Structure 1
Amino acid sequence: MKLLVASNNAKKLAELQRILDAHAISGVDLVALADAPVQYEDPVENGRTFADNALIKARAGARETGLVTIADDSGLAVEELNGMPGVLSARWSGAHGDDRANNDLLLAQMRDVPEERRHAAFVSVCALVTPDGQEHVSEGRWEGRLLHEEAGENGFGYDPLFEPAETLGRSSAQLAPAEKDALSHRGKALTGLVEVIAGLAG
């Protein structure tokens, strides 16, 4: 079965492949968005929630390409900022996907916030949509806190600023890929769809 991953982020594709391998799921050929049989315009992600945006992307992929499509929408929810950046995480500083500017802005906003009020959680919602209209949604959360400066070279986005509750002083950008998969919000959300993917793959 060909499974379209509605993302241009190669790291997300690799993460899903590792999770499928860990669950011994075979017969699934992941297709990157750039390699889709039909190239189509990215849909406008104007949902109010992570689930809304994940479904917008997955529905567009299934509709335009005729392939089973999986998409995720994820971000960082900071308690002190009333859950923001939230669905605006990728464009918090104004430009979409500018990790440096997003991290710098968040650090500036949280500069004087004491340790006891630096709780944050990564949230991911993954949606899988089939061409015949089946829809499956899975959510994962990863609790932790915001650091005062970046640490680590792995990962992307806010990873260098996020210290997971389980990792004893390491940011999520300091974790090995397999360790991150086992703990992360996206890993949890993707794992929630493994049985669905296995069933579709036969």
Structure 2
Amino acid sequence: MKLVLASNNAKKLVELQALFTPLGIELVTQGSLGIPEAEEPFDTFAENALAKARHAARLSGLPALADDSGISVDALDGAPGVRSARYALDAGGEKSDAANNERLLRELAGVADRRARFVCALVAVRSADDPEPLIAMGRWMGEILTAPSGEGGFGYDPLMHIPALGQTVASLGAEVKNRHSHRALAAAQLIEQFRAAWHLG
């Protein structure tokens, strides 16, 4: 079954494709179909993911899968949250992983409570007006370091230390990350829903 992925993030595509391959799902990015990115006007991950999924389905005529994810930091009242990808841009900086990480470190300078979580909402729709979207949420608990560590991953991975694994997310191999991540946790829930509601796998 072919699904449009409402994202142009190549690394996200690789992660999600690996997670859903056992169900016979083939993901194709919306960008490869000439579909522009959707607006993300909402304050929650789930609402933004649903908006992106409906947008991709509407313009492609295919079922769609959307991911809205980010990092929520307790000491910042959940920020960056849904603004994670644009965190530095919102403060007049550039839109880049490095700039986002730099702003987060500045905001947490001198802060003792560095608890945080990666959050992922995954939404799948059969069509743009699907009345029964599949919605899954994953949360991966950790803490923010005072400096980046690790060479892999993307986004805030170099700053997010996972105490249970003793490493930053950027230091984990792809196989380990795909077993433990917020996206993996959400995908596991979505896989169950795909099997029950869409009869896949």
Question: Is this a same-fold pair by TM over 0.5?
Answer: yes
Q: Which runs of 5+ in 1 are unaligned?
A: none
Q: Which runs of 5+ in 2 are unaligned?
A: none
3-state SS of 2:192 partner? helix
Measure, in 2, the Cα distance between the counterparts of 1:125 and 1:16. 12
Percent of matched pairs sharing the same residue: 42
Q: Is structure 2 residue 5 aligned with structure 1 residue 8? A: no
Equivalent residue, structure 1, for 2:155: 157
Q: Amino acid of the residue matched to residue 35 of structure 1? A: S
Q: 1:139 aligns with which of 128, 137, 150?
A: 137
1:97 is displaced (CA, Å) by 4.1
1:145 is displaced (CA, Å) by 0.4
CA contact (8 A) 1:90 1:96 kept: no
Q: Amino acid of the residue matched to residue 29 of structure 1? A: E
CA contact (8 A) 1:80 1:119 kept: yes
CA contact (8 A) 1:75 1:90 kept: yes
Deviations 1:113-141 (A, max 9, x none): 12xx1100011101111116131110000
Q: 2:119 aligns with which of 117, 123, 132?
A: 123
1:165 is displaced (CA, Å) by 2.9
Q: Is structure 2 residue 71 aligned with structure 1 residue 73? A: no
Measure, in 1, the Cα distance between the counterparts of 2:23 and 2:124. 16
- Any residues of structure 2 matched to 1:179-198 within 5 Å, and which? 179-198=176-195
| TM-score, length of structure 2 as denominator length | 0.90
Q: 1:103 aligns with which of 101, 109, 131?
A: 101
Measure, in 2, the Cα distance between the counterparts of 1:53 and 1:97. 19
Deviations 1:74-112 (A, max 9, x none): 111100001100011111111674111110111111121
| TM-score, length of structure 1 as denominator length | 0.90
- How many residue pairs match? The answer is 194
Equivalent residue, structure 1, for 2:169: 172
Q: Which runs of 4+ in 1 moved over 4 A?
A: none
